[in-house]
Structure 1
């Protein structure tokens, strides 16, 4: 046999060693050439070539194809279609991304079955939720983003968050995730620890987490407690956002714990100095103060002269002239000047006067409005005292129930002025 002759057996062996490939097969491809948008690869063991488009190279975005492939590299690929008709010179379309994706789906499915969470970055905010890159595209519905309503989801753009897998369907490329479930689980664990170690009366450090119209939610370390608007300050607060801001560090006192309803009631006000402390120095008798009318009743006006400190301006101390009710000349929210008539620190009571700061009209009788508004004796018994002697009320005007049970801290004598004294004189 000549030196140039070919051994038939060797040729047969070579032909037999050439593998045939089909769509769906996993093969190894050697990079033969690199273009801007694709790789040309030789499919090992087949003698044929194929192409890998840029978008099929990776599950991650690629800016420069040369960063992920070099001539001579060998990579695992999957055949996704045949693009040539000639059997010998036919070419195939291959993908590296789909192999990676399949591997990712397998890993995600295993984590889902095991109840494990995943961590992934938020790549975009779309209508109805967030899109995340978990190696494959995942979607987080807006209702599963947080454990409270979030008005603007854009704040999550670019953040890397922990998610629970809610639904996974690899064949449909469907991956539904929830960040809310992770937060709720974390808070449940933290709540258990918090409820075990705190009790009413404790003073804790916290951070303002959220503000609403009715109060502020304060983070105590993974668990939120509510500071009702009435517990923010001794001063009147219309809206929590007027005095607090999200992220602000605050001290709070635990008012109440309700483990069954997962509620913690807190107070910022109770950690502040008591407003009545040193009241004799802050509001001494004869001092002139500027205050705000907070409440109007039939018997007078309650005026706040210091944050958390209210005093009573009895109806007889409002004006030199007769008035039917305080509402005739005053309104809630009105700013007024008052003179301090009396101070009772232990009872948290201030007696105030508006008329003491004004001159009486010339020629006006020096007569208190208390005389004009004193309770009248009843004429049902002809003006005699038989009713009193027989166990009745003796014709005396009864005290309205709301006055008897008033929670202002003022006595009936304070409320009715000199009326009780005068009524006692009439009975003699």
Structure 2
């Protein structure tokens, strides 16, 4: 009050000497600055005005210092006669659980929403302080198609809530990646609160205070960019670390850092009979071998088994070229049949190595699931391949107790082979019996046909003999005349047929 009374006393006609006499008293009560600094009335008035608390206006943005954190908001010192209060509902731009994001002594930028409340405090807002600039920022991001990260602050039945640069935004459930209602009745969106998501503005309307964001669009665009980058960086033949993102009946998809590649079922393991769901689960980290990169279709073919060639070498150490071992036919193709040997390790029986005769397709000799004797004819260590032969193994196999039908199909296997493949041996028993019955039936039919042919031949011979016995014996002259008459009879019809043409 002393300062205000002093200002009211100043005016035209005031003796400057009186001002100088008041300076020591003023400086002792209001400032520690030396009296000689106030060389003019303007300097003194400026000093006095500096000591007065200025009046706040609604809409001002000022900086303050956090003085305390309460249950329902924070107290902020903004240099005014009263403390400012920021309710928790005006702090969403700080993220989920905003009261944990500040502490006493922190500097914050606040918006004056009420210069003086009924409690005599200043109503402040952190969100609105950031909001005006935030709208401009979001508009620029929308126009430029920018992708950014924001923290999820809440959710409702329709989607997620986020506060971006002080602006409340909404992410519909359809735009949230992997958001599906839980089978147990839980809301899957609740787990997203507090997480940082990669987002993109797909709709903005300042007048309606409406901002719609999409995680799905941001992820698709981001992954497309990452895939282009990866396609340029990847090289066929290199080994990369990836994470399994999806398991299908035809293989697994592996994320290499922004782009997925496919590991086909045949490239999962050296055991081709293994199923993907038995080997891996989503989230597993695996080393993969880059097999092929198609720049046109942007597809990446990967292999898990080729990333661990030492496993194949360990499996193959028990075998040598020339060994005859049992194997299970796992797949038929036009050029041959794949077979799994004990271990397990897989090799190829070329179509020319099935039987001695020429066949059109392997199914003429073997079926998937058959256990057959196989001879190892080739081991390619550099290409991790085995060459097998059923044709060359047959002679030795028959000595060991294998049995075959006339088409070359296995109809019985020895006990030692059944012990190596017990499950297959049980399932094959009805198949072997059916083959034996079919072979026996074909043998009976063949024998009956042979008997019928023999009987027919015997009947023909008897008939010819009887005809010879019934005809009179002709002399040589009679036989010659009979033949001449037959020739003449044959010539006369020919001549009669030519006569009209000659006329």
TM-score bracket for the superposition, by shorter chain length: 0.5 to 0.7
Pairing 1:249–2:278 present: no
Q: Which structure: larger Rg? A: 2
TM-aligned CA deviation for residue 226 of structure 1: 0.7
Query: In 2, Cα distance between the equivalents of 1:222 and 1:368?
Result: 59
2:265 counterpart residue number: 229
Aligned length: 329
TM-aligned CA deviation for residue 261 of structure 1: 3.3
TM-aligned CA deviation for residue 225 of structure 1: 0.8
Query: In 1, Cα distance between the equivalents of 2:8 and 2:413?
Result: 130
**Per-residue displacement from partner, 1:50-91 (whole Å, max 9, x unpaired)?**
985634664443369993799xx99651349x987xxxxx98
Structure 2 gap ranges (5+): 11-53, 182-187, 356-363, 379-385, 404-411, 417-435, 455-503
| Of 393, 398, 414, the match for 1:357 | 414
| Of 206, 210, 215, the match for 2:241 | 206
Pairing 1:259–2:295 present: yes
TM-aligned CA deviation for residue 254 of structure 1: 1.5
Q: Which has the higher contact order (CA 8 A, sep 6+)?
A: 1
TM-aligned CA deviation for residue 101 of structure 1: 2.9
Query: In 1, Cα distance between the equivalents of 2:191 and 2:76?
Result: 42
1:163 counterpart residue number: 199
RMSD: 5.8
1:398 counterpart residue number: none
2:215 counterpart residue number: 179
1:348 counterpart residue number: 388
Note if contact 2:151-2:163 (Cα within 8 Å) is conserved in structure 1. yes
Cα 1:305–1:235, aligned 2, differ >3 Å: closer, same or farther?
same
Cα 1:187–1:284, aligned 2, differ >3 Å: closer, same or farther?
same
Cα 1:54–1:292, aligned 2, differ >3 Å: closer, same or farther?
same
2:29 counterpart residue number: none
Query: In 2, Cα distance between the equivalents of 1:66 and 1:96?
Result: 16
Q: Which secondary structure does the structure 1 equivalent of 2:320 belong to?
A: helix
Cα 1:129–1:279, aligned 2, differ >3 Å: closer, same or farther?
farther
| TM-score for both structures, normalised by structure 1 | 0.54
Note if contact 1:206-1:218 (Cα within 8 Å) is conserved in structure 2. no
TM-aligned CA deviation for residue 164 of structure 1: 1.9
TM-aligned CA deviation for residue 122 of structure 1: 2.6
| TM-score for both structures, normalised by structure 2 | 0.47
- Please list, as runs of the form range in 1=range in 2, the aligned pairs for 1:106-185 lying within 5 A after superposition: 106-124=136-154, 126-134=156-164, 135-146=166-177, 156-185=192-221
- Please list, as runs of the form range in 1=range in 2, the aligned pairs for 1:349-428 lying within 5 A after superposition: 349-350=389-390, 351=393, 353=402, 355=412, 357=414, 373=442
Structure 1 gap ranges (5+): 11-18, 85-89, 316-324, 360-366, 385-428
